[in-house]
Structure 1
Amino acid sequence: MGIGPVRLNHAVLFVADLGRAEAFYTQVFGMEVAAREPRANAAFLRLPRSGNHHDLGLFGVGAGAPPKQRGGIGLYHLAWQVDTIEELEAARKLLAEAGAYTGESSHGATKSIYGADPDGNEFEIMWMLPRADWGEFENAAPIERLDLAAEIQRWGGVSTAFEQGAR
């Protein structure tokens, strides 16, 4: 029998410059600072629609820390869910404007936009199909080209994050 968690509560990232990372996540993601811990050079951020104390912790380690190496052992990316496909489109535009957009793909049941923060920490912004529409993707996660315009045409106005348990 396993531990039985219900979801990932928060993630913590080491960053070179705490102020720069805090500015990125508050400006690009709209997060708010829930708490700061100066002794640890840390900030704890909350998503605007979250009922959580904090969703992301940032610990500043200084510019002298070795950079993250893509393909090395460790965290690949964080995935943040949005409620509608239109929010995914808005995220793509905002990430492009911020110089943080790195790509996009369809994984069948999820549609994804990718980006990276100023320290190179990668993240995914994703929208999930309604559970009843997963169909052939119930047990599959392909990596395919995302046709966002077609997805908006098909799924526009459909809210799914709250059916998954978000607030």
Structure 2
Amino acid sequence: MPVSPVRLNHAVLFVTDLDRAERFYTHVFGMEVAAREPRANACFLRLPRSGNHHDLGLFGVGADAAPKVPGGVGLYHLAWQLDTIEELAEARRTLTDAGAYTGQSSHGATKSIYGADPDGNEFELMWMLPRQHWGEYENAAPVEPLELDAELARWSGVSTAGRITATNTGEDNS
């Protein structure tokens, strides 16, 4: 019988400078420190709207650690879902201001911008179309240019991430 998780609960990254990485994620993502573990040179961060204990763990491994190899085996990126297309546009401004913006694309059912933290760990910030509008993208994930202004005009005010709750209420949060 296969294992059947509900969703990814958290991710953990090795970083060269723990303080620098913590500043990046608290400033750019608005995360708060949920816990620190000095013996492991680690901190655990929570997203502001999360009901989770922590969404991201950071373990400082020092400046002498082997660098990330682009295109090498291992984690490619983390994807963080936003609730509205307006939040995606604001995220692009925030990443640009932080010098962390690396690009954007449309994947049909999702609209995405990309960035990298100070250690080169890539991430995606994405907004998903309402489920009933996936249409031809039900079983496709193209990589196409993102026309964010057009998407803002079309989807302004549409919330799709749903409510995150600490307990399963049985409600459909899509």
Amino acid at match of 1:160: T
Q: TM-score, normalised by structure 2?
A: 0.94
Could you tell me which residue of structure 2 aligns to residue 118 of structure 1?
118
Distance 1:104 1:36 in 2: 33
| Runs of 4+ displaced beyond 3 Å | none
Q: Equivalent residue for 1:10?
A: 10
Counterparts of residues 143-158 of structure 1 (less than 5 Å): 143-158=143-158
Quote the Cα distance in structure 2 between the aligned partners of 1:47 and 1:2.
30
Structure 1, residues 41-86: CA drift from partner, whole Å, max 9, x if none?
0000000000000000000000000110010000000000000000
Residues 74-153 of structure 1 aligned to structure 2 (within 5 Å): 74-153=74-153
In structure 2, stretches of 5+ residues that fail to align are 166-174
* RMSD of Structure 2 on Structure 1 (CA): 0.7
Q: Which amino acid aligns with 1:51?
A: G
Identity of counterpart residues, as a percentage? 78
Q: Distance in 2 between matches of 1:28 and 1:67?
A: 22
Paired AA for residue 166 in structure 1: I
Count matched residues: 165
Q: What do residues 73-129 of structure 1 show as CA deviations (whole Å, max 9, x unaligned)?
A: 000000000000000000000000000000000000000000000000000000000
Match of 1:29 in 2: 29
Amino acid at match of 1:46: R
State the Cα distance separating 1:166 from its structure 2 match. Answer: 3.0
